[in-house]
Amino acid sequence: MKLSASKLAQWCVQGDHYSIALEEHHLVFESKHLTETVPFAIWDGQCRLSRGLLWGKLTFIVSPADQPARSISVYGLPWFELSSLVEQLTASYQDWLAKQKNTFMLVEHELVALRDELEGHKGYLRDADLQQWVSKAGIAVAEFGVHPQVASIANPALYQGFFGWLQNGSAMREAKNTQWRETELERWSQWFDGIESSPLNPSQRQAVLMDDNHNLLLAGAGSGKTSVLMARTQYLVASEQTTPERIVMLAFGKKASEEMAQRLASAGLRNVEVSTFHSFATKVIKALTGNAPVLSALATDEEAKLSWMTLWLAEHLTQPAVEKRWLKHLSQWKLPGLNAERKLAEQAHEPRLHKWLWRQVDLLIQQNKSQAAMRSQVNGDARAESEFALVWPLMRSYQTHLSQANEVDFNGLIKEATKLLLRKSATFSAQYDHIMVDEYQDISPSRMEMLEALCGGKRERAPSLFAVGDDWQAIYRFAGSDVSLTTDFLARFPAGVIRYLDVTYRFHSQIGAVANPFIQVNPRQLAKPLNSVKTQKKKAVHLVSSETLEDTLTKLAASKGERDATLMMIGRNHASKPEGFSSWQARWPSLNIVFVTAHASKGLEADFTFLLDVNEGVFPAKGQSEGLEVAMLSVDGEMEHAEERRLFYVALTRARQACWIFCHPEKPSVFVKELWQGDYPVMSKLPKKALEFEQAPPAIEQSAMSE
């Protein structure tokens, strides 16, 4: 049946709809420029009739699944024919609706079961849980031919639940998880009070409950990340969400993994798998191939490395073409340990050259790129291009040696395990529910790929990744770590969750007022509050001349008397260790004086710290502006001294009570100048003229200063 406006009426309504037709389970509307078909499934079944001076108007409400509800009106219809049309439209719709209700009743119980899967879900509802359900529910709706409008009439409660999750799942998931967290915090309140030596603070408790597919916990210096790792592991077992053997805890070093294993064993959790990345990779390879990988002596034995490298250099540097290439390089740039005035092959045993070459080989292997891709990366940097030409043949010979011996090095362990996991992750990873990573800011691209393979794949519920780290303390770029894997966490895992521990128990507010804004000058560092439990008004960071080092030490010792204290002297490198260090240790044993490099200070703390030789060209270290290492490790758009700034932040935050920064009075570091001119709460006994910048110091974000 079709009803249309007359020619005159069509002219009067101009661009509006002037015709309506009833087809099988559809309404068809016509206007001058458009024909629109509306299925009964999105029509509410109502015909809204109104009369004008000459003609009638019909209005319909339609609700497309992916759009807001809207009205469609048909104008200029002959009034005396409208009642008959409305009766036919309504009867046709009711007939269709009755058949749909009968169909719905046959599958209603299955939709109820699907709804109850989510509403009855125990624990945290992960994003992947919801996406799997949405996929399954969408298939069911299409297969059963169920229309939302029919469900809303036949079973309003089911409609609100089932289709609510389909259409507004993210908001409903957040509400459900918020309620779950509140319940868990109340239920486990006393347990959180006693699980560690001190009650967990609110941000630590929230961190323990993180359980999405990809979780990043930003844990600032002294904020108790180890307590959270231990508490979370025990909570997962105590709450019966998993068992100890289904938890993996990964660390970067053997010492760190052993310490975590000991703490867990003390808590009665001996079956938690605590491992380094390399040990875990070895397990993966053995489990999925049936054979344990053979680790090359070149990866573990310094004598073997020395012998192999010496032989390779002696053999290749005697070749005229190779020698010519190396001499050409030496005519423009230096190489550690090599003298162009002597026969190159005679210097094949030089340790400094070996150290540099192994570093470059390791760097190239970590890139995991083709020769063409790496050539492109160094293109335009003449020194980098030349160094690449020297090192590439060495790297290829090294890889050939490993392949022929059927051996791997540490990089090879990670890569081989990743390949196997990509093929068999669903099988291997099914034995785990939770993957935890300590010091995540030190992650390298190859380790990240292994983690993704371990936590990915097609399975009912993949392991949850719980990464704990602090991008402010990412200081191992030279070893292959990539801080962007932390700072760009949500770009890699869009549905991931980031939380932070907002309280530090190490240093008081005056040290925090210097260190926290200083690191956040770099806009690429993730912003977070880090509030000190202890507050004080007296400034605790001192800028002083290196000439006063012993006098400052004498005064500090006198102020402490016979009371025990700890003093950590920190240098950018070992060259900063004072000549009188041993005599000072003997003279003031109650101070427990130690010396460490800035990198080695990570994870340590002391009552007082002396930062030594914070001079121009020393700290921040004077970096090269060209060369293979610069080309391979450079980050587009990163601010100057970004890595050194993080390293300086690490050194600053080792002190519990006070920190002295020593520098040459006429050659202070740019960091010293920034601390003086940048409105930081520091005390200075340096000449003001030496502290002046030739240009304005880096800006401090106001938000960082107010934390």
Beta-bridged to residue 49, according to DSSP, are: 58
pLDDT of residue 640: 87
pLDDT for residue 310: 95
pLDDT above 80: residue 15: no
Q: Is 223 annotated as a binding residue?
A: yes
Say what the pLDDT of residue 671 is: 95
104-135: b (≥16 Cβ within 10 Å) or e: beeebeebeebbeebeebeebbbbbbbeebee
pLDDT at 68: 84
Residue 695 has pLDDT above 70, yes or no: no
Q: When comparing pLDDT for 175 and 103, which is higher?
A: 175
Q: In angstroms, rounded to a whole number, what is the distance separating the alpha carbons of residues 373 and 303?
A: 33
Query: What is the arithmetic mean of pLDDT over 94-109?
Result: 85
Q: What is the pLDDT of residues 179-195, one digit of tens each?
A: 999 999 999 999 999 99
Instruction: Tell me the mean pLDDT in the region 94-107.
Output: 85
Whole-number Å distance between alpha carbons of 345 and 48: 97
Higher pLDDT, 583 or 147: 583
Structure-token match 């907002």, residue found: 502
222 known member of a binding site: yes
Inform me whether the pLDDT recorded for 480 exceeds 70.
yes
Q: What is the mean pLDDT of residues 431-453?
A: 93
Whether 110 has a pLDDT exceeding 90, the answer reads: no
CA distance 515 to 507: 10
Question: Does 219 show up as a binding residue in the annotation?
Answer: yes
pLDDT one-digit tens code per residue, 616-670 = 999 999 876 678 888 888 777 788 899 999 999 999 999 999 999 999 999 999 9
Instruction: Name every residue whose Cβ is closer than 8 Å to that of residue 580 and which is 6 or more positions away in sequence.
Output: 550
- CA-wise closest residue to 567 among 546, 586, 595, 539: 595
Q: How far is CA 336 from the centre of its chain?
A: 36
Q: Distance (Å, rounded) from C-alpha 150 to C-alpha 106?
A: 13
Q: Give me the pLDDT at residue 706, please.
A: 40
The token duo for 134 is 């949405």
pLDDT at 700 > cutoff 60: no
Please give the CATH architecture assigned to the domain spanning 2-77.
Roll (2.30)
pLDDT tier for residue 703 given thresholds of 50, 70 and 90: very low
Those residues with Cβ within 8 angstroms of residue 436's Cβ, 6 or more apart along the chain or in another chain: 229, 232, 233, 247, 248, 249, 250, 466, 467, 468
Q: Say if residue 607 is exposed, middle or buried (CB neighbours under 10 Å; 0-12, 13-18, 19+).
A: middle
598 assigned to a ligand binding site: no
Answer whether residue 368 shows pLDDT above 80.
Answer: no
Percent of the chain with pLDDT over 90: 66
Convert the pLDDT of each residue in 20-73 to its tens digit: 999 988 999 998 888 999 988 888 888 998 887 778 888 999 988 677 888 998
- What residue ranges of the chain are covered by domains with CATH 3.40.50.300? 189-295+411-504, 509-706
How much of the chain, in percent, has pLDDT values that exceed 70? 96
591 pLDDT tier (thresholds 50, 70, 90) = very high
Packed helices 302-316 and 351-367: angle between N→C axes, nearest 10 degrees: 90
**Domain 509-706, what fold?**
Rossmann fold (3.40.50)
pLDDT in tens, 321-367: 999 999 999 999 999 999 999 999 999 999 999 999 999 999 888 88
pLDDT on residue 705: 40
End-to-end CA distance of the chain: give it in Å, rounded.
Answer: 71
Compute the chain's Rg from CA coordinates.
Answer: 35
Mean pLDDT of 597-618: 95
Asked whether the predicted pLDDT for residue 166 surpasses 90, the reply is no
Asked whether residue 286 is marked as a ligand-binding residue, the answer is: no
**pLDDT band with cut points at 50, 70 and 90 for residue 156:** confident
**For residue 699, what pLDDT band results from cuts at 50, 70 and 90?**
low
Q: Is 225 part of any known ligand binding site?
A: yes
496 is in an annotated binding site: no
DSSP states of 26-90 = EEEEE-SS-EEEEEGGGB-S--EEEE-SSSEEEEEEE--TTS--EEEEEEEE-HHHHHHHHHHHH
Tell me, which fold does domain 189-295+411-504 have in CATH? Rossmann fold (3.40.50)
Per-residue pLDDT, 689: 76
Question: For residue 175, is pLDDT > 90?
Answer: yes
Ligand-binding annotation for 221, yes or no, is yes
Within the chain, which residue ranges are assigned CATH 2.30.29? 2-77
Residue that is written with structure tokens 């070459």 in the block: 357
